[in-house]
Chains A and B, each alone.
Chain A
Amino acid sequence: MLVSRKQAPSLKRQLWVAFLVVPPIVFMSLFVVYPILSAFAYAFYDWQGLARGEFVGLKNFKEVLFGATMAPVVWNAFLHNVYALVALMIIQNGGGFLLAWLLYKEPFGFRFHRIAVFVPVVLSTIIVGFLWKLFLNPNFGIINQALYSLGLDSLAKPWLGDSSTALGALILANAWHFVGFPTLVYLAGMQRIPPEIIEAARLDGTSEWQLLKNIVWPLVAPSTTILFTLLFIGAFNWFEIPYVMVGLDGSPFGTTDVLGLVFYRTAFGNQSASIQNFGMGSALATLLFLFIVVFASMLTLWLRRREIQF
């Protein structure tokens, strides 16, 4: 059907559109845009508890990035976020891609597995965190118990208490929780590939590896764009799993500290260790927000460019 672009839609239709669009815009402005902007403003003030003090310009930002007290904590946490991003990129998104490929080939019981792989995504993150904390308990957790019963006593560890394994344990728990999401997105992407392309490649005698590398992977690029961008945002906003499993302090001794935890401790205080500094917390949140917006946009643009239209 051809519709002239110049023809203005009827008033009734305009009202209908406004009726649909205005409430969510008002809602978003009130509960998303306004708090973000006010947090941005808060960052320029000195705070005493939740009472606003005097305007201090960029002092809070300077403290967060270069201050002797805050900066080492912030950069330590930032590196852990980067580590989590890279590790989850490989384990969670990479694992999702491989799982999707297995499901795509429709092996025996694929209908069951297609649902099973997505079930943990539906669970509450709090529950997943507690569940994994129990699994990893050094004395009665299922993981160490399994190692003991296999005679692999030397591999049993206090996973969440050992500085060399704690962050890795959090990453694995997170990957277990969310791997179903990239799996589903990649599976949908693979099912969009015209079957004749894959059949033609098969007829030409490509190996499975070549098929994956040269045909499937490039053709699911749009899925990769979405998943990588979402993971990037998720990895730098990472909070729930660390909070539930190791607490606000990034225990043991800061080896699992991430920016989300630092922000919470700084802005709202940690009842059992520190007091709150709302201005510095707001400054950190603002910096994190800007970092994510800028890099996520750049990442999206770069990933978009390598997508192939078909």
Chain B
Amino acid sequence: MKLTRRILMGAAAGSLLLSGTAAMAQQTELTFWSWRQEDKAFYQDTIKKFQEKNPGITVKFETYAPENYQTILSTALAAGRGPDVIQVRAYGNLETIATPGYLLALDQQNVPELANFPEASLAAETLRADGKVYAVPFAMQAQLVVYNKKIFKDNGVNPPKTWDELMTLAQALKAKNITPFANGTATAWQNETIVGGLLSSMLGKQFEADIVAGKANFTDPRFVGALTKLKDVSQYFSPNFTGVDYPSSQQLFVAGRAAMFAGGSYEVANFKNQNPTLDLGVFPAPVMKSGDQHLIATYYDGGYAVNAKTEKKDAALKFVRYLATPEYGTAFTNTLKNLSPIKGIKIEDAITQEVAKLAENSMSYLMLVRFRYQEPSGSVLLQSNVQKMLAGQQTPEQAAAEINKGIATYYKPFQK
């Protein structure tokens, strides 16, 4: 009697256990790594929506500090572990992870939604060696000029169209004791954003095409001429600008003490967070003579990739496909105020709309997009040589020659 009861209980417990594991087998848990701790609420929300549509899959979102992310991720991947879905960066930084074969190649077979992305955004997530796409791009960034609408209105000025208008406007503001540009050059990478924000229209799409085709190099008059203009306008930067670092120049603008900030579209959300009363607008780099095309410099931040070694490939692909839908792109753009590259999204925020419209006429954020794969990277060269030029330690011609010399060490078309 006792024994049968035990057997019965054992069988009951056993079947319970079995049914338990069966249920667990149906439930696939994905891990998803990111460096965007500040966007955690948004991603949790996204995951909830995804899980409602895909009841069999749960997603665990984990973040790491941005400065350590690449190291932690590559260590995990090298050890054959790592998450199923991975937020990765773009261009040269993508290559360090994609080249060793850690990521699953994506195409319109396994992610049909890729058809819905602009070519340039996919190029950002493509490995140059095999021409395959390794991630679903998530955000476009642009270098342009952010301006304080109130200061402009109070002084009766409008966003400048041409370079001469910009110089006149800056002169007028300075005469009234308003700092025209909050920018400083002490933080090296700020020099690259300033070039992208102010000089793109003067460089022009043709210049980029010529550089890529090897028909022109950086000693080209278009480039030297643009640098000369930059040197001119630097007199309207923040006082003592060579010693003003990135946070200080942001503070100057946020406090409403400067009229313009040449830099990234990502600054807008940041400025608004710190001072919600700011009324901001954006305009593209001024042109040399009216009639020329206005351009902003664009690039892509990164993408969502699938671990090549994951055992849950189907579930991971499902999730990545969801992250490529216009529905997701719309939520991303409106919640994070960052422009998703997915076509057909609905943008609520006025400035983001403006950026999206400006992006229809754009050139690449040149050094990041084309020359940040080898050392000395175009970015390193541009940043330090523009910094030196603006400090008055070298001429625009010398700066251009130095940049060209550095890139020529590995870029064949410049070696002629």
- Contact pattern, B 165-186, Cβ under 8 Å of A = 1, otherwise 0: 0000000000000000000111
Closest to B388 in A: A253
- Contact pattern, A 141-163, Cβ under 8 Å of B = 1, otherwise 0: 00000000000000001111111
Most buried by A among B92, B377, B380, B409: B380
**Would you give the shortest CB distance from B277 to chain A, in whole angstroms?**
22
B269 at interface by CB-CB < 8 Å:
no
Contact B379 A272 (CB under 8 A): yes
**Would you give the shortest CB distance from B339 to chain A, in whole angstroms?**
20
Chain A, interface size category, equals 35 or more
Instruction: Please measure, in the bound complex, the distance between the C-alpha atom of A271 and the C-alpha atom of B89, giving whole angstroms.
Output: 10
Mark out the residues of chain A between 181 and 199 whose CB falls within 8 Å of any chain B CB in the assembled complex.
none
Instruction: Please measure, in the bound complex, the distance between the C-alpha atom of A49 and the C-alpha atom of B103, giving whole angstroms.
Output: 13
Contact B244 A252 (CB under 8 A): no
A276 at interface by CB-CB < 8 Å:
yes
Contact A253 B74 (CB under 8 A): no
**Would you give the shortest CB distance from A49 to chain B, in whole angstroms?**
3
B202 at interface by CB-CB < 8 Å:
no
Contact B186 A160 (CB under 8 A): yes
Mark out the residues of chain B between 376 and 410 whose CB falls within 8 Å of any chain A CB in the assembled complex.
376-377, 379-380, 383-385, 387-388, 391, 393, 406, 409
**Inside 8 A of A309's CB, which chain B residues have their CB?**
none
Closest to B380 in A: A273
Instruction: Please measure, in the bound complex, the distance between the C-alpha atom of A249 and the C-alpha atom of B78, giving whole angstroms.
Output: 28
B54 at interface by CB-CB < 8 Å:
no
Contact B380 A158 (CB under 8 A): no
Contact among A49, A69, A157, A270 for B96, CB-based, below 8 A: A49
With A49-B100, A137-B243, A252-B387 as contacts: A247 and B379 at CB distance below 8 Å = no
- Contact pattern, B 245-260, Cβ under 8 Å of A = 1, otherwise 0: 1001000000000000
Instruction: Please measure, in the bound complex, the distance between the C-alpha atom of A244 and the C-alpha atom of B238, giving whole angstroms.
Output: 22
Contact A273 B383 (CB under 8 A): yes
- Contact pattern, B 61-73, Cβ under 8 Å of A = 1, otherwise 0: 0000011001100
Q: Mostly helix, strand, loop or mixed at chain A's interface?
A: loop
- Contact pattern, B 355-395, Cβ under 8 Å of A = 1, otherwise 0: 00000000000000000111111011001110110010100
Contact B243 A159 (CB under 8 A): yes
Instruction: Please measure, in the bound complex, the distance between the C-alpha atom of A253 and the C-alpha atom of B242, giving whole angstroms.
Output: 11
Contact A253 B377 (CB under 8 A): no
Contact among A69, A162, A274 for B242, CB-based, below 8 A: A162
Instruction: Please measure, in the bound complex, the distance between the C-alpha atom of A277 and the C-alpha atom of B377, giving whole angstroms.
Output: 12
B56 at interface by CB-CB < 8 Å:
no
Contact A139 B92 (CB under 8 A): no
Closest to A276 in B: B96
Instruction: Please measure, in the bound complex, the distance between the C-alpha atom of A274 and the C-alpha atom of B372, giving whole angstroms.
Output: 6
Closest to B393 in A: A163
**Inside 8 A of A276's CB, which chain B residues have their CB?**
70, 96
**Inside 8 A of A254's CB, which chain B residues have their CB?**
384
A275 at interface by CB-CB < 8 Å:
yes
**Would you give the shortest CB distance from A59 to chain B, in whole angstroms?**
14
B240 at interface by CB-CB < 8 Å:
yes
- Contact pattern, B 280-313, Cβ under 8 Å of A = 1, otherwise 0: 0000000000000000000000000000000000
Instruction: Please measure, in the bound complex, the distance between the C-alpha atom of A277 and the C-alpha atom of B374, giving whole angstroms.
Output: 10
**Inside 8 A of B239's CB, which chain A residues have their CB?**
138-139
**Inside 8 A of A48's CB, which chain B residues have their CB?**
96, 99-100
**Inside 8 A of B95's CB, which chain A residues have their CB?**
49, 275
Give the top 5 A-B pairs by smallest Cβ distance, nearest first: A158-B243, A161-B243, A49-B96, A138-B240, A161-B242
Q: What are 29 inter-chain pairs, A to B, with CB distance below 8 A?
A: A49-B100, A50-B75, A50-B96, A51-B99, A51-B102, A69-B375, A137-B248, A138-B242, A139-B244, A157-B240, A161-B184, A162-B391, A163-B388, A246-B186, A247-B188, A249-B188, A249-B380, A251-B186, A251-B187, A251-B188, A251-B387, A252-B387, A253-B388, A270-B380, A271-B67, A271-B93, A273-B377, A274-B377, A274-B379
Residues of A within 8 A of B (CB): 48-52, 68-70, 133, 136-139, 157-163, 246-247, 249, 251-254, 268-277
